[in-house]
Structure 1
Amino acid sequence: MPLVTPAADRMPRSGIRRVMDAAWASGKPFIGMHVGEPSFVPPEHVLRAAENAYETGDTHYVPNAGVPELLEALSVKVREQNGIHASPSQIVVSAGGAQALHLALSMTIAAGDEVLIPDPGWPNYAMAVGLLQATPVRYALKPERGFIPDIAELQELITPRTRVLLVNSPSNPLGTVIPGEVIEELVRFAERNDIWLLSDECYDALTYGVEHVSPARFDEKGVVLSAFSFSKTYAMTGVRVGYLVTPPGVAATAAKLQEPMVACVNAPAQAAAIAALTGPQDQVAFMRDTYASRRVLAMEKLTEVGIPFVEPRGAFYIWIDVSDRTGGSVEDWAVRLLQEHQVAIAPGTAFGAGGEGWARLSLAADSDDIARGIERIGAMR
């Protein structure tokens, strides 16, 4: 029997999956605070747009980069909301934010190259880099620095093989938002070292009392690639629409790479995305306000049960310190929490070695589940 490639065989399974598999296998009801799945449905006008596309037969191939109407709407969106002056010709529509990231990596790294990724950080970064036969090099996000990247430490990690610095703000799993002045420093760092800065901005619409700042605002030398998604902003996780914003002259290459990857994002999904951008935005504000309320509730309950946490300023997660409760492995502790108290959470080590002693709670769960879940976590030793 032929063998699978070493890169595919080596790719680790997400550490969150151990908890998910145990939860499903138990056959018991549980409180799910482990995945970032919004507890909302897309706005009604978004659903109707997709439905109309199917009814009218708008189900054929479309351009690799995306339909012109969506590219125009995205150009307006990133200019008005992100301060990025990108023409429609600089944008490529992708099958979700994850594929936008993979597309960016596919055109910037080769076998043996290195990519700087955050630790703790979304596990799919390392997966994608490894599948492309490159090496993920983790840079530490430390509590004593507020989990903000350190430029000096990043410089120590640079080698002749470094090609990309991957930055995520607002952060999954931390809920932190990198200040604008640090974002600008990171862009200058990428420019000085002649590397790409790949910015994951999946949660750009979800911040609380602080501004989300896109790195491309400061890009003077064409080094920033920006990946966005409709999944969290519009609760369109299963619709699978994202987009990659590139410097001038780069999008044509990205669009070309779409052909062997996905050819194009399906037309009804793009119709839904156009409706999402150009239609009423009141449900977006409602969802953001709901997450803000859940955030306050979670902080109050964690304070009551005596569990330290990092105050989330973006996304819909809260990073909690359980180092005095685990007795060793936080992943084993998370499985015991599920077995003994029927609460599913994401162990911090799912996001890198720097997550040992920490756990991520998703605030995508409803308020009652958040309150009851934290009470049960407080009772767990």
Structure 2
Amino acid sequence: MPQLAPHISVVPGSGIRRIHEIALELGGAALDGVTMLAVGEPDVAVAAHIADAARRAWAADATNYTANGGIPALRRAIVAKLAERNGIRVETEQVWVTVGATQALHQAMTLVLAAGDEVLVPDPGYTTFTMNARMIDAVPVPYRLAPELDFQPDLDELERVVSERTRAIIVNSPSNPLGSVFDEPTLRALLDFARRHDLWVISDEVYEAFTYGAPHLSIAALDSDDRVFSVFSLSKTYAMTGARVGYLVTPPGLAATMRTVQEAAISCVAEPEQHAAVAAIEGPQRSVTDAAAHYAANLAATRALLDARGIRYLNPGGAFYLWIDVSHASGGDVAAWAERFLIEHRVAVAPGSAFGRTGEGWIRVCLASREEDLRRGLALLPAP
């Protein structure tokens, strides 16, 4: 039979998905008896005004093709939001509505990477950074976010791994899986690095709405020479992961190219979901502030529990994850340990090695869960 393209065989699987599949085997589709702390799924309901907008769109038969970039009302709402909340001033033709942030990331990488090109990806970093690169026959090159530096970028390390084949760097703040947040000096240093080596910057800002302390800062707000692609999503902010609405903000001058690549990839995002997105961005933000308070309370409770048990963790500056050190128990193979922990205790956590080599010995726990589930799951972690 015909063979698949050779580069497809080196696309890595998801270590998070592996844990989820075992959990489904144990508890069925409803995950009965399994405490699920592995998947980044908000545990709050979508706000009523967002759901109502989607229902009205379906009732009005707003189910047609839209412009490749999205319905005008949504693109205008995003432009206004970017200026007000992110300090990014763009034209409408720089905003492209996508099937979640996942497609936005893939689209940006497709635009700037050819076969064999290298892209610098954070390690630990979100799994699809590496998967996307391999899908388009590019080469992901990890740059280490080291525990000894509180998982912040090391500019010396970046200078060691960049090469003449490097075309882009992915920056993720707030970070999934770490929850680390990059301050303005760090973001400026990363931009300076990109300028020195003439690199594109792809900025993943999916968790922009959830920070603890310092506010989120968009790297594109500091960009002076149009090298940043910014990726955003409504999934986590508005608890609408299944609606699949994100957006890619491009440098100026790419409108014709974007129309072509959007048509080839998706044509457009489903129209009812776009109307829901308008309601989310322009409507009351109470659900977002309530969710942020809920995640912050869960963080405080879990930190107190881990502190009392002497278990080390990274104190996150944002997102809704807790990065926990279980190296004293995992025996150098945290993926295998996480599977045993799930089977023995019915608690699912994401192994840190799913996010890169530097994640070995760590786990990621989702704070967007019920406090009682977090208490139960973390109470079963082995103490040093």
Give the alignment's TM-score, normalised by structure 2. 0.97
Match of 2:93 in 1: 89
Say if 2:165 is the partner of 1:161.
yes
Q: Alignment partner for residue 305 of structure 2, among 291, 298, 301?
A: 301
Distance 2:246 2:339 in 1: 33
User: Deviations 1:98-131 (Å, cap 9, x if unpaired)?
Assistant: 1000110111001000000000001111000000
Q: Alignment partner for residue 69 of structure 1, among 69, 73, 98?
A: 73
Distance 2:158 2:194 in 1: 10
Shift in alpha-carbon separation, 1:234–1:307, aligned structure 2, 3 A:
same
Match of 1:16 in 2: 16
User: Deviations 1:73-100 (Å, cap 9, x if unpaired)?
Assistant: 1001011111111121211110000100
Say if 2:61 is the partner of 1:57.
yes
Distance 2:171 2:380 in 1: 34
| C-alpha displacement of 1:11 | 1.1
Distance 2:221 2:188 in 1: 8
Match of 1:314 in 2: 318
Distance 1:171 1:355 in 2: 13
Say if 2:214 is the partner of 1:210.
yes
Aligned partners of 2:245 and 2:277 also within 8 Å:
yes
Match of 2:38 in 1: 34
| C-alpha displacement of 1:9 | 2.2
Identical amino acids, percent of aligned pairs: 46
Match of 1:2 in 2: 2
User: Deviations 1:157-213 (Å, cap 9, x if unpaired)?
Assistant: 121111110000000000110111110111121122111000000000110111211
Alignment of 1:1-381 (within 5 A): 1-27=1-27, 29-378=33-382
One-letter amino acid matched to 1:144: E
One-letter amino acid matched to 1:366: R
One-letter amino acid matched to 1:68: P
| C-alpha displacement of 1:252 | 3.4
- RMSD, matched Cα: 1.1
One-letter amino acid matched to 1:250: L
Distance 2:260 2:95 in 1: 12
Determine helix, strand or coil for the equivalent of 2:179. coil
Give the alignment's TM-score, normalised by structure 1. 0.98
Distance 1:361 1:255 in 2: 39
Aligned partners of 1:306 and 1:378 also within 8 Å:
no
Q: Any gaps of 5 or more consecutive residues in structure 1?
A: none
Distance 2:382 2:375 in 1: 11
Distance 1:90 1:17 in 2: 33
